[in-house]
Amino acid sequence: MNWTVDNNGSFDYAADTRGFTFAGLVEYHEKRWAIRFAEALMPKVANGIHLDGDMGRAHAEIIEFEVHGSVLHKRDGILRLLTFVNHANMGSYRDAVENYLAGLTPRPEITAHPLQTTIKYGFGLNFEQPLSEWLDIFGRWGWNEGRHEPFAYTEVDQTVQVGLGANGKAWRRKFDRRHCRSHKNGVSRDHQKYLALGGLGFLLGDGRLNYGRENIVEAYYTVHVWRGFYPALGLQHINNPGYNRDRGPVLVPSARLHLEF
């Protein structure tokens, strides 16, 4: 259920507030590898619903390289390498803090700047490796430069994750699924200082910050009850939510139902 499990949290992928964009995508596939390139539109404002159609001012480039190969005997794994570069009307955390300290704004304001084009870039990696017919391991790492505001996805500048997934074949319930993973998220020093001085992002900010990395453990179990009826229970344990040691820990239970007809 956590956003940084669904996607790489540090990948500020081009999208409007609902997660959609207009883009052109080119892919090339060989037997053991593939490469993808996309050129996409960015929103006009952070997490905004309207995309900027002026590609001379705002656009994003994304490249992903994917490799398939056998690390364990007869068990193919997948490694994906990602890089992205966003061009948009993004504010700078350092400039926002300097304007506040100079008395130009009542608090650090990431949006207090003229229309401009700045650049945000980052990298990501993820792998998936089956260990047996019913057990696999997966992991993810991500980093972005953290000097400019997130503009589309979420307020994460660094992330690392590892987890285990299993189907129920080992306990004679082959359609059941259970997963458990641990991940850590962080933000850059510029981002930390901005929040500590009272700055607000489109998701974070409560006037102060006693910084600590978010440490999250999440698990779920999906049970096949009958035909296409799949209920699931999950639980997250979150330390330092919002990167604040003065908050949490928090337990977040969840219940889901998947139906197939």
The full length of the chain comes to: 261
Q: Please choose, from the candidates 99, 136, 117, the residue with its C-alpha nearest in 3D space to the C-alpha of residue 44.
A: 117
Indicate the pLDDT class of residue 227, thresholds 50, 70 and 90: very high
**What is the predicted pLDDT for the residue at 40?**
98
Ramachandran angles phi, psi of 24, nearest 5°: -110, 135
Q: Is the pLDDT of residue 27 over 90?
A: yes
**What is the predicted pLDDT for the residue at 135?**
95
Q: Please choose, from the candidates 199, 198, 195, the residue with its C-alpha nearest in 3D space to the C-alpha of residue 242.
A: 195
Domain residues of the chain, as ranges? 3-259
Instruction: Name the average pLDDT for the chain.
Output: 95
Q: What is the rounded CA–CA span in Å between residue 217 and residue 93? A: 29
Indicate the pLDDT class of residue 29, thresholds 50, 70 and 90: very high
Angle at the Cα of 49 from the Cα atoms of 45 and 53, rounded to 5 degrees: 70
Angle at the Cα of 147 from the Cα atoms of 143 and 151, rounded to 5 degrees: 80
Q: Please choose, from the candidates 88, 111, 110, 116, the residue with its C-alpha nearest in 3D space to the C-alpha of residue 195.
A: 110
* Mean pLDDT score, 141-169: 96
**What is the predicted pLDDT for the residue at 74?**
82
Cβ atoms of 212 and 238 closer than 8 Å:
no
Cβ atoms of 166 and 134 closer than 8 Å:
yes
**What is the predicted pLDDT for the residue at 6?**
86
Cβ atoms of 203 and 187 closer than 8 Å:
no
Q: What is the CATH number of domain 3-259?
A: 2.40.160.10
Neighbours of 50 (CB within 10 A): 10
Q: What is the pTM of this model?
A: 0.92
* pLDDT, tens only, 88-100: 999 999 999 999 9
Q: Is the pLDDT of residue 73 over 80?
A: no
